[in-house]
Amino acid sequence: MEPQRMAWNGWGDPARATPLPDSVTRLLRDLLGVRPAQTPPLRLDQVKVADPRLPGDALTALAQAVGDPYVRADAETRIRHTRGKSTPDLLRIRAGEVADAPDAVVLPADHDEVLAVLRICAERRIAVVPFGGGTSVVGGLAPRADGFTGVVALDLCRLDALVDLDPVSRTAVLQPGLRAPRAEELLRERGFTLGHYPQSYEWATIGGFAAARSSGQASAGYGRFDEMVQALTVATPEGTLELGRAPRSAAGPDLRQLVLGSEGAFGVITAVTVRVRPAPAVSAYEGWRFPSFDAGTAALRRIAQDGPLPTVLRLSDETETMVGLARPDRIGALQEDGCLVVAGYEGAEEEVAARRAAVARTLREAGGEPLGAEPGESWAHGRFSAPYLRDALLDVGATAETLETATFWSKIPALYAAVRDALTGALTEAGTPPLVMCHISHVYPAGASLYFTVVSAQGPDPVEHWRRAKRAANDAIIAAGGTISHHHGVGTDHRDWYAAEIGPLAVDLLRAVKRRVDPVGILNPGVLLP
C-alpha cells in the first residue's frame, strides 16, 4: 500500500489545513500591509501539464524494469511530483506553473530495480530525480533538464521496510522510502527509537534525511541524522556503492560523507544503517525566560560547552517570542517580553531528573527565569504545525518563508545582525517591510545554528519578490562567515553560494566524483553542483 499523499499545493494532510484567525489576518493587514491575492489558487483539475516527452521505447523499458503499474505518466501523479515545498515552489504551483513537471514517475521496489532504471535512463539521457517525501525547501527536486530527453521522478515509496534490527549493536537497517513516523513506529515496537524529529518529520523519509544531512529538533540529545548513519547502500549508473563496515575506521577517507548531503547527485540511497537507542521511559518539556537574545545565547553556549545537555534546547529571539511562533497553538496572542527557551528531556526517569536539575541550575545562574512546563509542552504539542501556518499565511496574501545557517559562537551576534539587516533591507526596499524572527535550535560546543522566519506582504511578483530577499540573505551569510545551510541542504537555491563557500578546487573535486559515478550526468542535474 502506498503512503498517504501530501497536499499537491501545500504542506501535509489537507484535512489539517486551518485558516488564520480573523485577528491574525487583521494584524497582518495593519502591521505589514498584507492584502489577499487578486486571483484565487487553481484547483488540481485546472492545472494543465504538457504531454510527456519520453519516447515510447523508454517507457516500455522502464515498465519492463519495475512493472507496468509502477510507471506513471498521468497528469495528477506528475503534478504531485513537481518540485518541493518551499514558498516559491508553492506559489508557482498554486498559479499553475508546472512546465518542469517530470515526464513520468517510476516506483522501483528494490535496489536492483533502481540500478536497472538508472542504466535505462543513462543510455537514453533521461534525467532522474530521486523522490522521497517531496519536502525539499531549497529546490532539491528542481533539476536542470536542458539537454536531456526527459525527466523521471524516481519515487522510492515502495522501498519502505525495516530490513534488520541488531539489538546488540543497537543498529537498524532502513530502506530510504520509509517515512519517519512509520520508522519510529517499527522501532518502538522493538523498544528502540531514532529520536530524529525535524519539522518535516511527518512526511520526510529516511533516504531524504541522509541525502540532505537532516538535523532534528532533538539534536542536542540524539545528534544529527548524519551522525546516526553507520552504513549506506547506494545505486549509481556505474554500479553499487557499499559504504561503512564499522562504526569508525581509519581505512582512508570516510566515503559515506560523499553521499550524506549529496542530494541524489552522486547516487540513489537504497539502504541506510543507523544507530538506534532505547525508547525513552519519560519525556518532559519546560520553558524559561531570558531578558534578551544575547543573554539566552550565552546561557545556551554554557550548556553546550559544559553540559549536561537536554534532549531539546532552543531559544527564540524577542520577536519570535512576542509573536508566539515558538508556541504555535498561541500564534497571534502577543506574548510576554524577553526570549523564550524551551528545554526538553527524554530518557530513564532518574537520568532525566538529574539532567533537568543540573540544566536548571545553569539556566538560573545565567539569568533565566523558570516558566514551568506549560510553554515547553505547548511547543511540543505544536512542533510540526509551522508549515501548515505557512500555507495559511500564503492563503491571505503574505509571503512566509524560512532560512537557516550556522557558525561559531563568537560569530553568532554578527551573523544574526547581518541576516536580519539583509532581509529587512531587501524587503523594505521592495515596499514590503517584513517581520523577521529567529531561533537557535541546534547547539554544539563550538557553535550553533540560526533559523530565521520571515513574513511580509507578497508584492506584485511574489516569487521574484522572495528571491531578491533570499539572495540578499545568502550574500550576507557568506560575507559574515556562516555556512549556507545547516540542515535544509543545497539544492538549486543555495548552489552558487555553496560553490563560493567551499571554493573552486573543492567544486572541481566533487565534479570529478560525479563524473565517475554518473558520467552522463543524469542524477539530479544542476542540484548541488553548478
Same structural domain for residues 117 and 225?
no
- Which residues are registered as beta bridge partners of 150? 126
Mean pLDDT of the chain: 95
Range of the domain at 247: 162-278
Q: Which residue has the cell 525527466?
A: 151
Q: pLDDT by residue (tens digit) across 284-341?
A: 999 999 999 999 999 999 999 999 999 999 999 999 999 887 665 555 555 568 999 9
Instruction: Please give the Cα distance from 23 to 29 (Å, whole number).
Output: 10
In a domain, 42, yes or no: no
In a domain, 523, yes or no: no
Q: Is the pLDDT of residue 3 over 70?
A: no
Same structural domain for residues 207 and 301?
no
Q: Is the pLDDT of residue 219 over 90?
A: yes
In a domain, 132, yes or no: yes
512: Cα separation from own chain's centroid: 27
Same structural domain for residues 258 and 312?
no
Please, which pLDDT band fits residue 132 given cuts at 50, 70 and 90?
very high
pLDDT at 325: 73
The percent of residues in the chain predicted with pLDDT above 70, rounded, is 97
Same structural domain for residues 137 and 187?
no
In a domain, 203, yes or no: yes
| Averaged pLDDT, 125-138 | 97
Could you tell me the three cell numbers for 320? Answer: 519570535
Domain boundary among 135, 155, 175: 155
Same structural domain for residues 263 and 317?
no
Instruction: Please give the Cα distance from 371 to 367 (Å, whole number).
Output: 13
State the burial class of residue 185 (Cβ atoms within 10 Å of its Cβ: 0-12, 13-18, 19+). Answer: exposed
Least confident of 245-254, 319-328, 423-432: 319-328
Same structural domain for residues 140 and 209?
no
Could you tell me the three cell numbers for 429? Answer: 526596499
Instruction: Please give the Cα distance from 264 to 257 (Å, whole number).
Output: 13
pLDDT at 330: 59
List the CATH number of the domain containing 108: 3.30.43.10
148: Cα separation from own chain's centroid: 28
In a domain, 309, yes or no: yes
- Residue 329 amino acid letter: D
Q: pLDDT by residue (tens digit) across 90-110?
A: 999 999 999 999 999 999 999
Q: Which stretch of DSSP H or E encloses residue 270?
A: strand 268-275
Instruction: Please give the Cα distance from 206 to 270 (Å, whole number).
Output: 10
| Averaged pLDDT, 450-475 | 96
- Residue 170 amino acid letter: R
In a domain, 503, yes or no: no
Indicate the SS3 state at residue 193: strand
Total of domains in the chain: 3
Same structural domain for residues 118 and 166?
no
pLDDT at 333: 52
Q: What is the pTM of this model?
A: 0.95
Q: How far is CA 124 from CA 81, 148, 337, 522, in A?
A: 21, 8, 61, 10
What residues contact 163, with CB distance under 8 A and at least 6 apart? 173, 174, 175, 271
Same structural domain for residues 69 and 170?
no
319 and 294 in contact (C-beta within 8 Å)?
Answer: no
pLDDT at 326: 67
Domain boundary among 140, 155, 170: 155
Same structural domain for residues 127 and 184?
no
List the CATH number of the domain containing 337: 3.30.70.3450
Domain boundary among 124, 139, 155: 155
Same structural domain for residues 178 and 269?
yes
In a domain, 360, yes or no: yes
pLDDT at 2: 59
Q: pLDDT by residue (tens digit) across 80-90?
A: 999 999 999 99
Same structural domain for residues 324 and 372?
yes
In a domain, 91, yes or no: yes
Same structural domain for residues 207 and 134?
no
List the CATH number of the domain containing 222: 3.30.465.10
Q: Is the pLDDT of residue 39 over 80?
A: no
pLDDT at 427: 97
Please, which pLDDT band fits residue 41 given cuts at 50, 70 and 90?
confident
